């Protein structure tokens, strides 16, 4: 404990100047004139809008990936003091002076720069020579595509950084396994592996490929560990558990944490509210919350409600009726009931109001005390403006003849009695006596006579139905289906018995004075100094009764019911799952794009992407790889696979002269580098979304790491004589100079700093399929 009294404190610094030098040149290559061009380049226009949302704390949902990457970019904006005020609408638009371009691009550039020394470290940890390690780093340094991608406000370089970090820390971990298991550094690297993996996944879903690869390698190593009979059973169990926690539990928790932060940061209503549930929207500041604050929570007999369909397809809409009737017969000759139309209408309207009625009573106002409606109760729904009852019967629906028509009942005095009784079925109930709650309850309305379910069919009615959406009664009770589920969005207790009064009441907004319903804590925090960002004022968890330090916005969320009862369950985990689910299910339309490409184009670099063109000169930025590196990396991969198979066969026949340790090294390097390439490349063949060249960059990075591995192997094992070796060395040097030369030639297109003449540009168009922009005049 007091050892320092006996011995002096000695700090031995072990600085690898290689790494320092590599970091320095990496930084130089990525950070040089980083703020140039001062204009929106390619996908910056896409990520920029999300940064603005973060800066303004407006809720958004990006279906293309999890939020961690956006958050990191926004962190750059936050550090640079960006206020979010910029209109991201056009590639090439000049940045206004309030946009801190340098700091926005800083994080990706740093990540890109650090990838260079990390490549060195990885090869070193794979037990390859310094020379090979330097080679890998130098190749990363002069890869034009990686530079372009890292110097802009894009996510790929961050993804690559975390991919490499995951691999590196796993290698460090497994190398310390033999000597010092369960030491602090062992734990550090193990945990870092898990964290880096989840960061990679948190930036783009693509990160999951590297995660799976690392998991696979870890599983094989663990399997060998289990077979190690020198270890006791308990020890093996500890090893397995430690790995399971660090590589499975930690990433899952970290991943959830991203969403937690995302939801905590973004507390204002924004453009993507609509796809989330009403309950979630109600929790956003300025969104639905403005309307729903002060609404009664429990739906009672006599409640006036609007019913929103839980399905957002094709558009979010509310159950609606209007005085028009179904046409006597449709175009195809089928007949209808000629009763009042019931539709789903995507806009707020006074005709969206329905009154919940007790079939046994005539009153349409809420009694005192209110009698809440529970799961399993039978109700009638009265259309507020026309006072007609929601009805369905054995008449074919207008567009889906297999389903029943839903109408508001008009008594034509023919033998078609009203069938207006509906049983309430709360889909997300916790008990069978659950009360129907505003926003929270997802209800199905089951028709009593025919057991049909009220359902949004998703089809648009023709002109006679004003192109609103068709609502039908469908007989099949096939489990949970979103289009058959409705939630109460706006709600108030009806007070007027007279029709005229009621119409007036329906026309009046539900908006109640909000401040009246605010709790003490909410008002208290509003008194806080205004300099404090509104959403960040921490609240003492003890006082709100919830366990997490909700932000002030969260408090308001928990506070919207007049009885001060928070909505059932914590909103955050619900929101989190919902958000994750929506992100996975939101389908981006696969629109064609001028620069989209197929995975087959990538290996041969048959495609490029023009990122930016100077508005006046012909200075331009392209995503374009270093041809020499791409070609040789491809060759090296093929060579690796061939050699690997050859060695495998030789070893099987026991005729191989490759020493055991170099074989193991060769296999591990291949599993991580060639495996990393394959894992990050082949899945794209199965994807149906629009693909771009930059999707290949993570795979390319792994391929570049493989290159020196193969070269060193050839130099050590395949060149028999000294002469061969020197010759091979000379070849490698020549090849690297060629790569440098190509880098230099493509440099103007990478940095976009030099305006080339049309003939120079034409000379750079080495492939027919490259699209280099040449000004005509």
User: CB 513: neighbour CB atoms within 10 A?
Assistant: 9
479 counts as binding other proteins under rule CB under 8 A: yes
CA 14 to chain centre: 41
In the complex with other proteins, which residue's Cβ is closer, 121 or 483? 483
476 counts as binding other proteins under rule CB under 8 A: yes
Which residues within the stretch 676-695 sit at the binding site for other proteins (CB under 8 A)?
686, 688
The interface region with other proteins, picked from 70-78, 146-154, 228-236, 610-618 by CB under 8 A, is: 228-236
415 counts as binding other proteins under rule CB under 8 A: no
768 counts as binding other proteins under rule CB under 8 A: no
Q: Which phi and psi angles does 386 have, rounded to 5°?
A: -105, -5
* Candidate list 32, 182, 223, 766; residue touching other proteins; CB under 8 A: 223
User: DSSP of 359-396, one letter per residue?
Assistant: TT----S--SS--B-BTT-EEEEEETTT-PBEEEEEEE
Q: How far is CA 22 from each of CA 83, 287, 740, rounded to the nearest angstrom?
A: 35, 50, 16
Of residues 90, 84, 81, 99, the one with CA closest to residue 40: 90
DSSP-derived 3-state class of residue 152: coil
The interface region with other proteins, picked from 46-54, 470-478, 490-498, 527-535 by CB under 8 A, is: 470-478
The interface region with other proteins, picked from 42-50, 62-70, 274-282, 453-461 by CB under 8 A, is: 453-461
In the complex with other proteins, which residue's Cβ is closer, 516 or 653? 653
Q: ∠ CA(697), CA(698), CA(703), 5° rounding?
A: 90
500 counts as binding other proteins under rule CB under 8 A: no
User: Least CB distance from residue 74 to other proteins, whole Å?
Assistant: 30
457 counts as binding other proteins under rule CB under 8 A: yes
User: CB 169: neighbour CB atoms within 10 A?
Assistant: 23
In the complex with other proteins, which residue's Cβ is closer, 275 or 539? 275
Which residues within the stretch 88-117 sit at the binding site for other proteins (CB under 8 A)?
none
User: Least CB distance from residue 772 to other proteins, whole Å?
Assistant: 15
Q: Which phi and psi angles does 373 have, rounded to 5°?
A: -90, 135
230 counts as binding other proteins under rule CB under 8 A: no
In the complex with other proteins, which residue's Cβ is closer, 187 or 464? 464
User: Least CB distance from residue 477 to other proteins, whole Å?
Assistant: 6
Site string for other proteins, 636-675 (x = CB under 8 A): -------------x--xxx---------------------
Handedness of CA 177, 183, 188, 190 (dihedral sign): positive
User: Least CB distance from residue 19 to other proteins, whole Å?
Assistant: 39
DSSP-derived 3-state class of residue 612: strand
In the complex with other proteins, which residue's Cβ is closer, 54 or 486? 486
Of residues 356, 352, 412, 348, the one with CA closest to residue 389: 356
Q: Which phi and psi angles does 329 have, rounded to 5°?
A: -140, 150
483 counts as binding other proteins under rule CB under 8 A: yes
User: DSSP of 693-712, one letter per residue?
Assistant: GGGGHHHHHHHHHHHHHHHH
Give the separation between CA 151 and CA 745, rounded to whole angstroms. Answer: 18
Q: How many residues bind other proteins (CB under 8 A)?
A: 29
User: Least CB distance from residue 641 to other proteins, whole Å?
Assistant: 16
Residue 708, sorted as left (phi over 0), alpha (psi -120 to 50) or beta, turns out to be: alpha
The interface region with other proteins, picked from 249-257, 406-414, 451-459, 562-570 by CB under 8 A, is: 451-459
236 counts as binding other proteins under rule CB under 8 A: yes
Do 122 and 705 contact (CB within 8 A), yes or no? yes
Q: How far is CA 86 from each of CA 41, 82, 235, 525, 710, rounded to the nearest angstrom?
A: 14, 9, 57, 30, 48
In the complex with other proteins, which residue's Cβ is closer, 311 or 351? 311
In the complex with other proteins, which residue's Cβ is closer, 370 or 462? 462
229 counts as binding other proteins under rule CB under 8 A: yes
451 counts as binding other proteins under rule CB under 8 A: yes
User: Least CB distance from residue 653 to other proteins, whole Å?
Assistant: 7
* Candidate list 69, 108, 135, 458; residue touching other proteins; CB under 8 A: 458
User: Least CB distance from residue 229 to other proteins, whole Å?
Assistant: 5
In the complex with other proteins, which residue's Cβ is closer, 3 or 479? 479
Question: Tokens 């023009």 correspond to what residue?
Answer: 610
Burial class for 267, CB neighbours closer than 10 Å (0-12, 13-18, 19+): buried
Which residues within the stretch 573-612 sit at the binding site for other proteins (CB under 8 A)?
591-594, 596
Interior/surface letters 727-739, b for 16+ CB within 10 angstroms, e for the rest: eeeeebeeebeeb
Site string for other proteins, 298-317 (x = CB under 8 A): ---------------xx---
Q: Which phi and psi angles does 228 have, rounded to 5°?
A: -75, 105
User: Least CB distance from residue 483 to other proteins, whole Å?
Assistant: 7
Tokens of 691: 């693909």
226 counts as binding other proteins under rule CB under 8 A: yes
Task: Tell me which DSSP letter residue 94 carries.
Answer: B
The interface region with other proteins, picked from 229-237, 249-257, 381-389, 553-561 by CB under 8 A, is: 229-237
Q: Which residues bind other proteins (CB under 8 A)?
A: 223, 226-227, 229, 233, 236, 313-314, 451, 457-459, 476-479, 481, 483, 591-594, 596, 649, 652-654, 686, 688
């Amino acid at each position: 404990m007091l050892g320092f009294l006996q011995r002096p404190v000695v700090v031995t610094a072990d600085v690898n100047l290689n790494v320092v030098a590599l970091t320095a040149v990496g930084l130089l290559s990525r950070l040089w004139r980083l703020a140039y061009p001062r204009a929106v380049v390619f996908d910056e226009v896409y990520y920029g809008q999300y940064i603005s949302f973060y800066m303004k704390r407006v809720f958004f949902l990006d279906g293309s990936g999890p939020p961690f990457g956006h958050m990191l970019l926004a962190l750059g904006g936050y550090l640079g003091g960006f206020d979010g005020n910029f209109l991201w609408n056009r590639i090439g638009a000049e940045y206004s002076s309030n946009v801190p371009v340098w700091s926005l691009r800083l994080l990706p550039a740093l990540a890109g720069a650090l990838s260079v020394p990390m490549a060195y470290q990885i090869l070193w940890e794979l037990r390859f020579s310094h020379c090979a390690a330097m080679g890998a780093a130098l190749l990363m340094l002069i890869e034009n595509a990686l530079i372009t991608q890292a110097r802009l406000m894009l996510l790929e370089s961050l993804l690559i950084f975390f991919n490499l970090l995951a691999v590196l820390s796993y290698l460090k971990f497994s190398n310390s396994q033999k000597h010092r298991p369960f030491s602090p550094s062992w734990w550090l690297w193990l945990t870092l592996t898990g964290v880096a993996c989840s960061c990679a996944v948190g930036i783009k879903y693509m990160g999951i490929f590297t995660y799976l690869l690392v998991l696979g390698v870890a599983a094989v190593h663990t399997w060998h560990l289990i077979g190690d009979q020198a270890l006791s059973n308990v020890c093996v169990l500890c090893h397995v558990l430690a790995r399971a926690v660090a590589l499975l539990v930690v990433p899952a928790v970290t991943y959830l944490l991203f969403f937690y932060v995302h939801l905590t940061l973004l507390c204002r209503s924004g453009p993507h509210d609509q796809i989330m549930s009403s309950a979630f929207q109600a929790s956003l500041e300025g969104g639905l919350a403005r309307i729903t604050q002060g609404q009664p929570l429990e739906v009672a007999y006599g409640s006036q409600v609007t019913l929103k369909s839980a399905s957002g397809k094709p558009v979010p809409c509310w159950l609606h009726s209007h005085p028009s009737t179904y046409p006597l017969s449709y175009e195809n000759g089928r007949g209808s009931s000629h009763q009042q139309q019931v539709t789903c209408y995507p806009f707020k309207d006074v005709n969206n109001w329905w009154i919940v009625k007790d079939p046994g009573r005539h009153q349409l106002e809420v009694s005192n005390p209110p009698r809440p409606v529970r799961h399993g109760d039978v109700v009638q729904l009265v259309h507020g403006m026309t006072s007609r009852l929601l009805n369905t019967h054995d008449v074919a629906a207008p567009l889906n003849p297999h389903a029943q028509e839903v109408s508001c009942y008009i008594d034509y005095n023919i033998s078609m009695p009203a069938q207006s009784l509906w049983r309430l079925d709360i889909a997300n109930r916790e008990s069978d006596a659950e009360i129907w709650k505003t926003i929270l309850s997802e209800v199905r309305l089951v028709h009593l006579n025919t057991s049909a379910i009220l359902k949004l069919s998703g089809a648009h009615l023709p002109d006679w139905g004003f192109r609103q959406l068709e609502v039908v009664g469908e007989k099949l009770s096939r489990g949970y289906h979103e289009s058959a589920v409705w939630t109460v969005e706006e709600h108030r207790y009806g007070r007027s018995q007279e029709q005229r009064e009621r119409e007036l009441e329906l026309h009046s907004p539900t908006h109640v004075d909000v401040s009246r319903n605010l709790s003490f804590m909410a008002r208290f925090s509003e008194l806080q100094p205004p300099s404090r960002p509104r959403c960040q004022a921490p609240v003492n968890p003890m006082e709100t009764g919830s366990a997490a330090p909700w932000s002030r916005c969260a408090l308001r969320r928990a506070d919207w019911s007049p009885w001060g009862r928070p909505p059932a369950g914590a909103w955050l985990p619900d929101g989190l799952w919902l958000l994750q689910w929506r992100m996975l299910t939101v389908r981006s339309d696969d629109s064609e794009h001028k620069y989209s490409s197929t995975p087959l184009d990538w290996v041969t670099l048959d495609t490029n992407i023009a990122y930016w063109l100077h508005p006046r000169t012909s200075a331009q930025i392209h995503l374009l790889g270093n041809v020499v590196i791409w070609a040789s990396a491809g060759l090296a991969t093929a060579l690796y696979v061939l050699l690997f198979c050859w060695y495998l066969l030789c070893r099987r026949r026991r005729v191989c002269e490759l020493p055991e340790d170099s074989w193991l090294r060769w296999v591990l390097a291949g599993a991580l580098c060639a495996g990393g390439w394959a894992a990050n490349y082949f899945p794209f063949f199965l994807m149906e979304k629009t693909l771009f060249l930059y999707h290949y960059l993570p795979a390319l990075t792994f391929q570049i790491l493989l290159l020196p591995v193969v070269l060193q192997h050839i130099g050590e094992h395949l060149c028999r004589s000294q002469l061969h070796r020197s010759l091979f060395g000379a070849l490698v040097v020549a090849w690297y100079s060629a790569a440098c030369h190509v880098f230099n030639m493509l440099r103007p297109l990478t940095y976009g700093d030099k305006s080339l003449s049309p003939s120079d540009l034409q000379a750079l168009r080495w492939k027919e399929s490259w699209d280099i922009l040449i000004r005509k005049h």
